[in-house]
Amino acid sequence: MEIGKLNHRIAALENHVKKDAIGNHKAQWEEVFSLWASVTVSNNGASEETDTGVTRAIQKIEVIIRQTPQTKRMASTVYRIRFDGLDYDIKGIVPNYSTQDYMKLICESRKAGAKDDFY
């Protein structure tokens, strides 16, 4: 991949559990770093899903980023990305073991009807 194709800025968000003033634990997403990426809509791009009477729009994207020690630590259960004002759950991480230069993130948006906290 040519470095010029990494033309979109994305933010990596990490889940942290914080305590409030009275000791309640709450999950929060905090931006830990930002990086340049190549973002494309995946083959089955957009769809809708209905669960318990709530319809939710789903947009799937593929994000190619540089493989660095920082990005190698990313896990789909702890990280999500923010691109163009939307948060995307990471559904899969595909590292490139042969050249160790880039990795692909398979992501899915959380739009109408979806909660922002963990399920």
Domain residue limits, the chain: 3-109
Give the C-alpha separation, 3 to 93, whole Å.
20
> What is the pairing mode between strands 25-51 and 54-66?
antiparallel
pLDDT of residue 119: 43
Instruction: Please provide residue 30's backbone torsions phi and psi, each rounded to the nearest 5 degrees.
Output: -125, 140
Per-residue pLDDT of the chain (119 residues; tens, 9 = 90+): 666 788 999 999 999 998 888 889 988 899 999 999 999 987 666 666 666 677 777 888 999 999 988 898 999 899 999 998 889 999 999 988 888 899 999 999 866 555 555 44
CATH superfamily of 3-109: Bacteriophage SPP1 head-tail adaptor protein (2.40.10.270)
pLDDT of residue 65: 93
- Angle (nearest 5°) at CA 62 between 94 and 91: 60
Ranges assigned E (strand) in the chain: 8-19, 25-51, 54-66, 79-83, 86-95, 102-109
